[in-house]
Every structure is written in structure tokens, then in C-alpha cells.
Amino acid sequence: MNVLVQKYGGTSVGSIDKIKNIARRVIEEKKKGKDMVIVVSAMGKSTDKLVEMAKSISENPCNREMDMLLATGEQVTISLLSMALKEYGYDSISLTGFQAGIITEGNHTKNRITKIEIEKIKNHLKDGKIVVVAGFQGINDNGDITTLGRGGSDTTAVALAAKLNCECEIYTDVDGIYSVDPRVFPEAKKLDVISYEEMMEMASLGAGVMETRAVEIGFKFKVPIYVALNTGEVKGTYIKEYDETMEDKMITGLTATDDVLMITINNVEYNSKNIALIFDKLAKANVNIDMISQTAPFNGLVNVSFTASKNDVFIIDEVIESLKNELKKIEVSKDSKISKISVVGIGMMNQSGVAGKVFKIFSDNNIEFKQVTTSEISISYTIDSNDKTKAITVLSKELNL
């Protein structure tokens, strides 16, 4: 088999005309002898609209029902694309995640793919059909429809490519991966190639162009990923294994995210059991903690701050209520006007000095940071959201991104 997986994101399938265009593009590849598997997202901003509808009924809607609701978006696109392909004379079949054999596990709204019964797709390909699969969704052991987290169609596409042992092309509304989101810093440079590690780090730190889990799967199964504009006319960016030919830059990219909620728990009686209690309860509630900081003890009390995703605000509130029963003196404050700015580069593994450079740029531009964390190939700073645009601009210019 000569399979190619292509994925088209929301903007690329945002209207009937666009869906017809995609059908024509897919047919061009089919004519070259490729067995085509097409993964699509919901049309335009329709997933956001579904979320809005849910939120107009409940501030904190049940996650099982959210999955049921959000999965409908992709179903609209698969059927329309399949109809368009048939209209142009090409046999095609649309498949939901369940019909495509995508089995998932985990919590509703953030499931992980655990298994793909790929024979189902292969059989349709053998019959000569163009297979159109709904991104972002699967089915769990209870037979419930699940979703993979926002942006999860990328994950569907790369996971299918891994199983089909082929390349994965991600078509989107930007003509490749840039050092910085070009919508935020238009002078950013387009990258011809980026390593899985760097893209994974950038994605997890806010570069929404690729979903983190998708890159992780690509890395694990060595799936060549190509990200490009949906017209196919401009050369895009390859995500692949790091090799010596890649430019040995210290910093490859910069990302920013506003999805940061900072919680400060004041007046925690200072002993390690209390700190453990806080983070144990958060872990049991499945809250993903990002940064943690703690003040020095004063009169036997410390203040503990941590950051997490804003999506977890309701669970965090519940955890805090339960903590108040055990840690009577605590006072808790939440700050959601925080942004996280990160610089990423594999070159940081064997070169030092990035943190110092960034601190200097911040201080020269009167930008205060609140917390800092590092990984092997990134450094992240939380700052006041009002300083975000200034921070992105000055860092990108000074670091030549």
C-alpha cells in the first residue's frame, strides 16, 4: 500500500467551497496512485460555538456530555467531504472515530488513544475508497464517545500515520511553523525543519499550530510530519528527528500562552506534610500543575504558589475548599491575568547563558517576571498579561527569532 494521511484543520474546511477545494486537492493525490486517508476537523469555529452553547446551559457542564456534543462537529465535515469526493466521481467513505477503530482511555474531554483497529481503514483502502476520518474523537471501553482535547485532530492524523506507517501532512491556515506565532510577531522566521523535541516543547508551551500529543506520537513512532498551508502552494515545515544538518541555534522558537492560572495559598503552616497534602489532593483531582514556588518561612508560615490551566479552575476550587477544612489558617487568591513566555531550543542542552540574556532583556524593558522554570531545552517565565506583547516583541527582536 502507498498510503498518505492528510489532515485539514477547521479554517481549511470552514465553508462548502473550501470543502470542495479540499476534495479536489485530495483527488490530485489519489490520481498519483496514493491510498488516501483524510482526517478533518470541525468546520471553522464550530467547536467553539458548541462550547458556547454548552456554557450557556451550565457553567461547568458534564464532561461526558461535552464529548458527545463536541464530537458532532467533525461528523459534519466528514460527511460533506465524502459527498464532495463522490460528486467528483471518487469512491469515498466517512468514518467516525468509533468506525475508524480508534479506542481511547482516560477522562472525558482529554482522552488518549490507546489502540487503533487499523484493519477497518485498511479494508476500505483496499476497496479503493478515499477514507475520511473524523479527527479528535474515539470510543472508550464503555462504548462512550470521547474526545482527545482541543486541537486533537492533529493527534488522530499522526496516530493513523503511525499505524499505517506513512507520512502525515498537516494542512492549516499558516504556511509552516515559525519561530514565533506569526499572528503575534509578523516578522518571525519560517523554519524549514524542526526537531520533534523542539516542536513538542513549543506545542506544550503554547504554540497552537500542532497539538503536543500529536508530536509526541510522531516522535515515538518516527512519523515524518509536514506542516503547510492548505492550498499546498507554499513550501511548509518538516518535523523530524534532530540531526547535525539542522542549524545549531541556541534558541529555535518562542511561545506564549494565556492559559495560566496562578493560585497562591497564604499562611500554610510550614511543615512538609502540609505541602505534600496540597499537591497530593491536586494530583488526585487530576490537576496538572506547572510551576510551583514557595516563600521562605516567616513566623512558621509560608505562602505557596502554583500555576495550572484555566480549564481546571472548578476542580481547583473544589480542592481548595477541601484543603480549608484541614489547613484552617490558609487564605487563597487566584490570578488569571498571567501569561507564560517560553524560549525553546535544543541548543540549550550544551550552551549556557539563555536565562541570563532573557533576564537582561526583561530588565532593560521593565518587565517583571513572577516565576521561572526550566527544562533541558526550554526556559519559561510567568509575567503580567499586560506585558505579554511587549515581552514577545523585544525577546523576538533581541534573540533574532
Scan residues 147-166 and list those touching ligand ASP (CB under 6 A): 150-154
Site membership for ligand ADP, residue 201 (CB under 6 A) = no
- Per-residue interface string for the shown chain with Mg ion, residues 5-24, x marking contact by CB under 5 A: ----x---------------
Q: Which of residues 116-155 bind Mg ion (CB under 5 A)?
A: 151
Say how far apart CA 76 and CA 48 lie, in whole Å: 15
By the rule CB under 6 A, 47 interacts with ligand ASP: yes
Q: Does 207 bind ligand ADP (CB under 6 A)?
A: yes
Residues 6 or more apart from 370 whose CB is under 8 A from it?
A: 262, 338, 381, 382, 383, 384
| Residue 393 CB coordination number (10 Å) | 15
- Does an H or E element contain 278, and which? helix 272-284
Q: Which helix (H) or strand (E) holds 139?
A: strand 137-139
Q: Name the H helices within 32-186.
A: 46-57, 63-87, 119-126, 153-164
The runs of H, that is alpha helices, within 138-271 are: 153-164, 196-204, 212-221
For the CB of residue 332, give the shortest distance to ligand ASP in the complex, in Å. 31
Give how many residues touch ligand ASP by CB under 6 A. 13
Among 10, 14, 97, 138, binds ligand ASP (CB under 6 A): 10
Reported as type and span, the H/E element at residue 383 is strand 378-384
Interface of this chain with Mg ion, residues 150 to 169, rule: CB under 5 A: 151
Binding mask 160-199 for ligand ASP (x = CB under 6 A): ----------------------------------------
Binding mask 120-139 for ligand ASP (x = CB under 6 A): ---------------xx---
Total residues in contact with ligand ADP, by rule CB under 6 A:
19
Compute the least distance from the CB of residue 372 to ligand ASP, in Å. Answer: 30
Stretch that binds ligand ADP, among 88-96, 179-187, 321-329, 365-373 (CB under 6 A): 179-187
- How many residues sit close enough to Mg ion to count as binding (CB under 5 A)? 2
Within 8 A by CB and 6+ apart from 150, the residues are 47, 211
Q: Least distance from C-beta 77 to ligand ADP, angstroms?
A: 11
- Beta 130-134 vs 35-40: how paired, if at all? parallel
Among Mg ion, ligand ADP, ligand ASP, none, partner that 248 touches (CB below 5 to 8 angstroms by kind): none
Query: What length does the chain have?
Result: 401
C-alpha to C-alpha distance for 213 and 70, rounded to whole angstroms: 19
- Interface residues with ligand ADP (CB under 6 A)? 9-12, 41, 151, 172-174, 177-178, 180-183, 207-209, 253
